[in-house]
Structure 1
């Protein structure tokens, strides 16, 4: 676990766009966070930041999940900020990207099915329930036809892991975990994942919009840390992420005491 030497936000000059987005979340600057997540997606696709793997590199093609997740989170941020048109734009970009990857880059049946799942996620983000359901049906059919030997292992690979991380970020703190999304049967992990998203993703998104808040992703966490105190809610459970220390309970930057 790493942390900065003090609480709050330090110099942002050397941060990548994803870290800037996370810091913007802590100050409720959701339109700014959406812009930063968008730039993180663009940079990730070009291999300029993050994992530094280009979207069209066949050796690392599944890493496109992280730019897809950044586009999705950008859209969530814009929805929270009330910029629904921009959220739909990011959803459209995500649909185009996932379709292009499915048709021209990815060659494994599980990964191609995962692109249908991503399309369902972006349709959900855009509020298109019927077309989201159709995309999830295609994903479920694709996973079933692929019938991989170890379905749960596929959920830890970049294309699907990035989607897991994005969905879990819609629920903070401690509301959802991997088991909620994938169920208790490893052999049905992919099917359960699709059913969960089809039934729950739109409501999870709406909760974020209604609450007017999106929390940072989990980095390294500690509970009951006497050295820190949240200035907003008084908690001392902390999240070390984006080269800063955030309150695990309310997402504010915490102070060292």
Structure 2
């Protein structure tokens, strides 16, 4: 992360912890724009990149849209979703490997979902088809599924899912992928299928509840130095320079 992206992301996490979700959406939008301008120091966002660092920018925009949805601002969520989908589509001119193109199609589907579009399910099916068609270009799907682009594409879903699971990891890397990596197309296509089946329900749950957890960082159970003033938990989540309750994302206080 650049220093500006770090600052915006840190501000976004702090706003989520304070339940100021519209402010978090604003900060994440700025983090997204900053990352898209320069994914890594000295890196052009339109250069071919096997790691796909530019995907972090799309993820910030997606999470921004989710924050707006939770804040009761579907209008802004729709705009941010449209923006994220357009960026992911445009990046197909830079990230040209078939598997990366399929992942960008997955991100387009995510953008439609978080933006409130009715055609997200169809977009996930298109992404699954793209993964299956990319089979011959993939030797080991693990090599691709652990790159920053693919990790970035999993992050919004995982953050939403842990919001409904008492702060625990509710969607693992194993959940997202098929069971047989020797069939790369099916292995990776499971990502899009899983999202089509689970992401809408999870997103509806956080919007209805009006609560989005902070992203999960470094965690510790039964920390003797901190306690949550809201729920009393001593389980801690260190993320983006914030010390938060692992359970409810409230800023933890020193005992």
TM over 0.5: yes
1:150 aligns with 2:140: yes
Q: Work out whether 1:45 is the aligned partner of 2:40.
A: no
Partner residue of 1:77 out of 67, 71, 74:
67
- Higher RCO (CA-CA < 8 Å; seq separation 6+): 1
2:149 alignment partner in structure 1: 159
Residue 94 of structure 1 is matched in structure 2 by: 84
1:179 aligns with one of 174, 177, 200? 174
Report the equivalent of 1:141: 129
Deviations 1:160-210 (A, max 9, x none): 110112210112222222222224433443121111011111111111101
Matched residues, number:
241
Q: Deviation at 1:22? A: 0.7
Task: Note if 1:108 corresponds to 2:105.
Answer: no
Unpaired segments ≥5 residues, structure 2 = none
Paired residues of 2:18 and 2:250 also in contact (CA < 8 A): yes
Distance 1:184 1:111 in 2: 20
Instruction: Find 2:120's aligned residue among 94, 117, 132.
Output: 132
Say whether residues 1:63 and 2:53 are aligned partners. Answer: yes
| Maintained 8 Å contact 1:127/1:202 | no
**2:216 paired residue among 215, 218, 229:** 218
TM-score, normalized by length of structure 2? 0.89
Distance 1:204 1:54, change over 3 A: farther
Which structure 1 segments of 5+ residues have no match? 1-12
Task: Note if 1:120 corresponds to 2:118.
Answer: no
Distance 1:25 1:51 in 2: 25
Secondary structure of 1:170's aligned partner: helix
TM-score for both structures, normalised by structure 1: 0.88
Question: CA distance change for structure 1 residues 39 and 92 in 2, over 3 Å: closer, same or farther?
Answer: same
Task: Give me the whole-angstrom Cα distance separating, in 2, the residues matched to 1:245 and 1:124.
Answer: 30
Query: What SS does the aligned partner of 2:213 have?
Result: coil
User: SS at 1:149's partner residue?
Assistant: coil
Distance 2:250 2:55 in 1: 28
Within the candidate set 161, 184, 200, 2:198 is matched to 200
Q: Does structure 2 conserve the Cα–Cα contact (< 8 Å) formed by 1:228 and 1:254? A: yes
Give the equivalent residue in structure 2 for 1:3.
none
